[in-house]
Each structure stands twice: as C-alpha cells, then as structure tokens.
Chain A
Amino acid sequence: MLASLFRFKGGVKPPTHKAESTGRPIAPAPLPSRLVVPLHQSIGGTPKPVVAAGDRVLKGQLIGEADGWISAAVHAPTSGTVREIAMHVQPHPSGLDALCVVIEPDGKDEWIERQPVDYRLLPPEEVRERLQQAGVVGLGGAVFPTHGKLNPSKTVPMEELVINGAECEPFITCDDLLMRERAEEVVRGIAIFRDLLQPNKVLIGIEDNKPEAAAAMRAAVDALGEPFFVIQVPTLYPAGGAKQLIRVLTGKEVPAAKRSTDLGVQCFNVATAYTAWRAIAHGEPVVSRLVTVTGNVHEPRNYEVLIGTPMDELLKLATPHPDTDGIIMGGPMMGFLVPDIHVPVVKATNCLIAHNDRLFPPKAPEMPCIRCGSCAEACPHELQPFEMYWFARAKNFGKTQEYAIFDCIECGCCSYVCPSRIPLVQYFRFAKSEIWAREREKNAADGAKDRFEFKQFREDREKAEKAEKLAKAAAAQAAKKAAEAAAAAAAGDAAPATEAPVAVGAAEDPKKAAVAAAMARAKAQREAAQPKNMDAVTHEQEREMAAIDARREAAGIADAPPAAAEKKAD
C-alpha cells in the first residue's frame, strides 16, 4: 500500500540512542533472588490477593484476582514460595508503598497446567474473559486492560485497527527487538484483535528508523497470508502516541473529550498483541515482558524479564558504569527516576536507563517565560503550553481547563524545546492532579451534603411520626374517659338488673346507652366464663375447693371467684 501518509503538527527530534541496545538479541534474564509483584499494575481496580504467606505457587498461578471489569489479573512469575503479602515501594514517581506479593523462587520455574485454546472456536466474550484472566494489558505504557478495548462499538462501525510499533521515545528498543525476533506471534496476536473487532483494515505503524523490524513484520504478514498493511512512518517524536499515530496513518484527528473508537479506530501496541497470542494460544498469562536496559551501561541489551524482578538486579546484568547514580524507568522524555533502585519491574516497565550526569546533564535553573511560542509550535496536540503554564503556575486551574490541559499527553516536547528550561510538564502534572483532587473533594462534599440532608429529613419524619402516635394515643385516652363517664352516669340511673340498661339508657342518650350496654354485656360474659381447668375435676378436688371457699368466707374474704361460687352452688 502506498497511500499517502498524514502528519501531526509539532513534534521534536531528540537523539534516538537506539542503536546501542539493538546490537544484541533478546536474552532471558536469570531468576532473581526474590520477586516483588505489585497487585495493582493496570488501570482500574486493584486485584485482590488470593494467596497467603507460606503458600507454594507455580509459574503462571493466579495470585491477584481482577476486581471489576476494568482490572486485570496478576500471576506468579515463577514457581516458589510466597514469603509475604506486604506494602513495598512502587516504581511510581511518588515513591509510596502499595500491596505486593513477595515470592522466593525455588529455581525450578515450574509452570501450572497451561490450557491452549483455538480462539476461533470460542465466543468473543470468552476470548475477552480469557485475556482478562491472563492479565493482558496495554504494554505501550498506559497498561489499560486490553479486554476492555475489544468490545466493538454498536453504533460506530470499526474502520481501522491501528497497531502501534512506532516506539518513538529515545533509548527504548524492546518493541523493535520483539518485532524482529517474534514477528509471527505478533501478527497472530493482531489477528485475534482483528477477529474480535472486525475492522475494515489493519494498519501496522512502524517508525522508519526500524527497517529490520518492518521487514520482519512484512515477511510474517506475507507468510501468514494476512491482509495487514505494514507502514513505515516518519521518525518524529511522539509519533508513537496513540492519537498521533492514528492521525499519521488514517488522517483522523481525535477531538478533545472523545475517544478514537468514536471515529471507528482502535489502537494496540505490538507487545500487547504478542502477549494476547501467548495468553490464548499457549495459555501463558503475562508473567514477563521485554525490557530495554541501556544508558550508562557496558552492554545495553533487551531482556525478557519476569514481572517483579528488582530493578537493581536487572541493571547489574548489563554491567552499569560505576558512576551510575539512578535508574530512569521509561524513556528520557516521559520516564522518571525511580524512587528506590530495588523497586520491581512491572507490566508498564519498557525500559531502564542507567542515569548519570554525563548522559543527562542537570538542568540549568528555570528562567522566566519569554512568550516565544516555541512550546506551542512543538506541541503535538496543538495546545498552548505557555498559556497553560501561566495559569498552572498561578494555580488558576479553571483557566488551565479552558486551555484543554486534559488533552495534554505529557510527552515533554514543550519542556524539550523551551529556551528558558521551564519544566512545563511538571506544571501540567501538578495542575492535573490538583484538579483531580478537587473533583474528588467536591464529590465527597456533595455526598456528605446529601447524606446530611437525608438524615435531617429522616429525623424530622421520625419526629412527626412520633408526634402523630402520641396525638392518637391521647385522643384514644380522652375517648375512653368520656365513655367511662357516660357509663357511670348510665349505671347510676339504671335499675340494678343487668338486662335493664338498654331500656333505661335509650331514654337518655342512645349512644351512651349503647356503650353502657356493651360494657354490661362484656361484664356478664366475663362472669359467665369458666376457668378452663374446671372440666375434669374429681369429686375429691371439688370437696377440697368447697372447703377452701368456706374457709375464705369464714375469714371474711368476700370476693370469692364467681366460678367457684357457681360450682359451690351445684
């Protein structure tokens, strides 16, 4: 295919430093002394640990269960014993701890029973579920759970599937080596995505500084007879950004606050396709990844590294120079110095760069912004970094949002070109996290207000109900008193005979008379009632009771029970 390519605005061309690590083939990293596997390695929910300290685990065994749909499972990278489930420092700019499963390898590297399947025989939902169970996430750096991106939209037809092999950031070569050495499996993985999403065409974008990778991919595509287009895109940072690559390959510009799927485009990294194929066709969950180890080292190289390997142990394999004073995770543009060299390799770790001042000279002090506009020219998202900087610096976050700060991909082009050496991206990250924190606080305050108002409403309702109940009880009491008074009045006038009150009452007040009659009837009924235990009384007992009654009468207790009196009369 020789269709014309498009281009995105801006971008920079930093020195690539890629040749250093492409000279040697991929090597498997040896088993480390211990593995620290963080449970939260992807966007979305934190997986729940399903093993306990002391358990023996096998390679590929589930240790963290996905928590919700946008969450991916975590597996034991090798066989061994779980030492602890504890908080450990994360490869995160904050340097804070998170829950990790620490595994001591037993050296056998023994797999669980793997279940390879032919995905074409499975319904699409099951393929997606298997990908989630296997912990397949976007390995380009964003670590978004892959199964969540494989639901074809019902409203927008899927036009293009973009496979990202651009790898634009300097120093990083893990995708390059993956495509060179394992192109066939990458292409088979892409076929899974194609079959799930049913796009019109599949475009594989590779930067033109990787001719070997492009040739290997072309050969694999031809060998498998797939109708995929392998396209070499101009080398220009950040051509590997999803929105930039989509723009270059399809000419479509993803608008602010929309997703590429709204335009019928979906994008995956080549390494993601490879792990998806391994997960489905070999039953192997994501327990390792390719990591470029480069920078201030003797032997820069790509290693197949188990997730959880401490970074200092990995870096030692490439024999760092003695003046190495830190490790950068990711590339020099978007990466960060890890807070502690013992932090583990995670699914997002594509590259480790040994840091020293010769390779990365310390930045000269920040100077005032001279409004030259270089940052706006370099911005691949056509934003105005100098305006956003102005407002972020003044903590005027509403304004930064007006200048679309959330479209910023933090690629670092603006900081790279700034003649005043202003750390623009740091200002934008600061503003973004402040805005998020405010949003969280606002939501919490709104929730608290709703619950407070509901509680007040509930208390008022209870008070009203109580008052109503009290009023009802008071009314009943008053009615009863009135009735008693009436009955007393009626009884005073009536003849002593119990049958008479109806006639007497009728003369005074029919209502009062009715009440009095009812009371008289109830009294008569009460008197007529017999205790239930009087049916089967023997003569001896009767005699005894009669004697008791006689004694009571003699003692002057007049109020003998009527039933006994009646019995006595018999």
Chain B
Amino acid sequence: MDILLAIAIMALGAVVLGAALGYASIKFKVEGDPLVEKIEAILPQTQCGQCSYPGCKPYAEAIAKGEADINLCPPGGMEGVQRLADLLGREVKPLEAEEKPKQVAIIDEQTCIGCTLCIQACPVDAIVGAAKQMHTIIAPLCTGCELCLPPCPVECILMAPVSETIDNWKWKYPVVEIKPAALRDAA
C-alpha cells in the first residue's frame, strides 16, 4: 500500500512539473538562437566572406551549430578567436589565414570608368557613384573586405592601411624598459 502511495505521489509530481515545464516552454519561448547573436556580436561585421560563409551571420550560425571552426575570420584577428573561445568554451586555435592590419579601399578616380560593378559588390554600401560617373569610397564606412577588388575591370581600386591620426591614436601599454646593466670595471 505504501509503495502504491509513493508511486502515486511521484507520478502526480511528474505530471504537475511536466505540465509546468510544458507551459513554460510555450509561454517563454525564445525566438531565434541567442547564441548566434552573441557570436555575431564578436564577429567584425565586414561581411567579407573570407570564412567561406556568405556573411557574418551565416558564419555565426555555422559556429553555433558546430559546423565551423572559430579560427576562420581573419579580420577578427587572434583577439576575435580568443573571445569566441571564451564564449564557447572551445580551444583557442591559431588563425587559418594571415592577420592583416585594418585597411580601407581607395578608388583611383582618374582610372574609374563608372561601371558600378564595385557598388554592386560592396556588402556595406560604402561606395557611391552612378553609371558612367566617377565612384568613390566613403572611407569611414569601408570595412576593408576587399570584395570590390575582383569585379573592377580596370583595376582602379587599391587597399591602403588605415593610418594613425591624433584622433584614433591609442596610449601604449606601459612597457618596462630593459637596459643592459652597467658593467663594473674589473677590480
């Protein structure tokens, strides 16, 4: 009898808790995958496709599903890999590709023929121009993804590293200077 009562209590508990959980899973359902959003926030949003995914979001989704490695994003650099590893609890791996300094595209306006191909290629709308009119890059909006380079028929786009100015200059990490000790004269 005691056993039956115990089973009944446990069964009742299971039913009540199951109903509560079922209700909660419908009522508090989270739209989308919050992990994808967190990963995407770390990615640099250059939309360059160097990871072989068509944009940062697809790459974030692939990482979240475990299909892609975390070291495929050269613009994010080693720091990005580190932060992804911290977020996902994965092992830090060296970058697949070479890390480059931040660059911005420059259009040689003398050579540009106004074909609009680079405008169509730019993922972040950082190029202005119209058919048969000179095009130019809005430098602050350029992410340096290099996607405008291949379509240009006259090769008038080049990449230049972002130069340091007083406005974007950073204080350096204080480094202790190591000097060779003065040699004592042989007594």
Binding site for B on A (CB under 8 A): 40, 90, 92-94, 96, 98, 365-366, 423, 426-427, 429-430, 432-434, 436-437, 440-441, 444-449, 451-452, 454-455
Contact = CB atoms under 8 A, between A and B. Distances in A.
B55 A452 contact: yes
A430 B47 CA distance: 30
Contact of A437 (B56, B170, B173): B170
Contact of B46 (A93, A96, A440, A448): A448
Nearest to A366: B176
B71 interface: no
Contacts of A365: 176
Given A445-B45, A448-B141, A452-B123, A430 B171 contact: yes
A13 B143 CA distance: 49
Interface in B31-76: 40, 43-47, 55-56
Given A448-B46, A449-B56, A451-B125, A98 B166 contact: yes
A455 B174 contact: no
A517 B153 CA distance: 57
B169 interface: yes
B134 to A, nearest CB: 21
B172 interface: yes
Give me the 8 closest cross-chain CB pairs, A-B, nearest first. Answer: A445-B45, A429-B171, A94-B169, A433-B170, A426-B174, A449-B45, A448-B45, A430-B171
B46 A434 contact: no
A360 to B, nearest CB: 16
Contact of B123 (A423, A434, A455): A455
Nearest to B123: A452
Contacts of B141: 447-448, 451
A423 B172 CA distance: 12
Contacts of A436: 170
B164 interface: yes
Contacts of A452: 45, 47, 55-56, 123-124
Given A452-B123, A455-B123, A455-B124, A427 B170 contact: no
A338 B94 CA distance: 40
B45 A90 contact: no
Nearest to B102: A441
B86 to A, nearest CB: 12
Contacts of B43: 445
A284 B44 CA distance: 49
B80 to A, nearest CB: 11
19 contacts: A90-B166, A94-B169, A96-B164, A365-B176, A430-B171, A430-B174, A433-B169, A433-B171, A434-B170, A445-B43, A445-B45, A446-B45, A448-B143, A449-B40, A449-B45, A452-B45, A452-B124, A454-B125, A455-B123
Contacts of A434: 170
A434 B40 CA distance: 21
Q: Which one of A441, A446, A449 has the greatest number of beta carbons of chain B within 10 Å? A: A449
B25 interface: no
B40 to A, nearest CB: 8
Tell me if B's interface is mostly helix, strand, loop or mixed.
loop
Given A96-B164, A455-B124, A448 B47 contact: yes
Contact of B166 (A96, A423, A426): A96
B110 interface: no
B31 to A, nearest CB: 17
B39 to A, nearest CB: 13
Residue in B46, B164, B168, B174 with the greatest tally of chain A CB atoms within 10 Å: B174
B166 A455 contact: no
A441 to B, nearest CB: 8
B74 to A, nearest CB: 15
B171 A432 contact: yes
B166 A92 contact: yes
Contacts of A427: 174
Given A96-B166, A452-B55, A445 B44 contact: yes
Given A448-B124, A449-B56, 18 more contacts: A40-B166, A94-B166, A366-B176, A426-B171, A430-B172, A432-B171, A433-B171, A437-B170, A440-B168, A441-B44, A444-B140, A445-B44, A448-B45, A449-B45, A451-B125, A452-B123, A452-B124, A455-B125
A444 B164 CA distance: 17
A11 B84 CA distance: 43
Nearest to A449: B45
Contacts of B45: 445-446, 448-449, 452
A302 B68 CA distance: 66
Contacts of A441: 44
Contacts of A455: 123-125
A449 B40 CA distance: 10
Contacts of A40: 166
A429 B165 CA distance: 17
Contacts of B40: 449
B174 A96 contact: no
A392 to B, nearest CB: 9
A440 B44 CA distance: 12
Nearest to B142: A448
Contacts of B169: 92, 94, 96, 433
Nearest to A38: B166
A437 B176 CA distance: 23
Contacts of B44: 441, 445
Contacts of A426: 171, 174
A429 B170 CA distance: 9
Nearest to A95: B169
Interface string B141-172: 10100000000000000000000111011111
B146 to A, nearest CB: 14
Residue of B124, B126, B172 ringed by the most chain A CB atoms within 10 A = B124
Contacts of B176: 365-366
A426 B176 CA distance: 12
Nearest to B176: A366
A425 to B, nearest CB: 9
Contact of B124 (A423, A429, A451): A451
Of listed B40, B166, B176, residue having the most chain A CB within 10 A: B166
A488 B123 CA distance: 54
